[in-house]
Amino acid sequence: MTEMRLGAVILTMGNRPAELLELLESVAGQKGDPIDVVVVGNGVKVSELPGLDGVRTLDLPENLGIPGGRNRGFEVLLALPPDQRPEAILVLDDDGKLDGPESAEHVRAAFAANPRLGIVSFRICDPVSREVQRRHVPRVRVGDPNHSSQVTTFLGGASAIRSAVVDQVGGLPDDWFYCHEETDQAWRALDAGWSIEYRSDVTLLHPKTLPSRHATYNYNVARNRVWLARRNLPGALVPVYLGVWTVLTVARLRSPAALKVWFRGFAAGWRTPCGPRQPMGWSTVWRMTRLGRPPVI
């Protein structure tokens, strides 16, 4: 058994109480030391939900979006006294659950084996069909989803991040609401010398969904991709990265209405503040290229 204090941040809007309780049961059933859980109510009084005895709760008066809500959870755990502060934090979607009692031990072992491993991205599969969606494997060439590898981004609701990474590079970009916030944090972590691994031995069971179910998906995905490039890429790569994604989007989106919304978001990404700019070094660009995902695709 590997010794490492773990915490967990679970963000919820209170609309999936049964699934939330199943997730909490799967976390409580993990082998090793108990995991210190904080459930963040994003615009709801999660403290009033039944069955949350024994976990920390945080009620946010308004919906801050995914990155804002998760950041508030990080703050709760990272403000604990040194003897209680977790060394790594699981970040879990409220409608998923850990597959088996060994997941936390696999996370601990992964971090222990590599002191520069900063983030672990879990395998996500449907609980009924056991299908792993292509978009849930953070590689350009997905290959076998049961194969672990180093990657350049991660899945936010099925991951673990070393607390030292948050200390060094910060949390998720607060005002992005959702879309690409994990990639922003991943690129900053890579530039600081941390590595990211997709681990197929840690599985989150999660119903198959489409990101486009969110009403503002096309707008946010375009706006935030521009923000991502403006904040993180060397100047020469910004037009290349955004040009590639514009071509791909035009080729993929069949709906003129959806494409119109996407271009509105793309324009907003240029007009509005993206936050502090800290372009990654060319050594990081080369490292990402060697890992199979240069920051132009």
pTM more than 0.85: yes
Q: What confidence score (pLDDT) does residue 209 get?
A: 75
What is the full per-residue pLDDT of the chain (297 aa) written as tens digits?
Answer: 668 999 999 999 999 999 999 999 999 999 999 999 999 999 999 998 888 988 999 999 999 999 999 999 999 999 999 999 999 999 999 999 999 999 999 999 999 999 999 999 999 999 999 999 998 999 999 999 999 999 999 999 999 999 999 999 999 999 999 999 999 999 999 999 999 999 999 999 999 876 655 558 999 999 999 999 999 999 999 999 999 999 999 999 888 999 999 999 999 999 999 999 999 999 999 999 999 999 998
Q: What confidence score (pLDDT) does residue 297 get?
A: 83
**At which residue do the structure tokens 């372009």 appear?**
279
Q: What confidence score (pLDDT) does residue 74 get?
A: 98
Alpha carbon distance 57, 72 (integer Å): 11
Given a contact cutoff of 8 angstroms between Cβ atoms, the answer to whether 12 and 44 are in contact is yes
Parallel, antiparallel or unpaired: strands 195-205 and 117-125: parallel
Alpha carbon distance 297, 171 (integer Å): 24
Report the candidate in 17, 23, 39 with the shortest Cα–Cα distance to residue 205.
Answer: 23
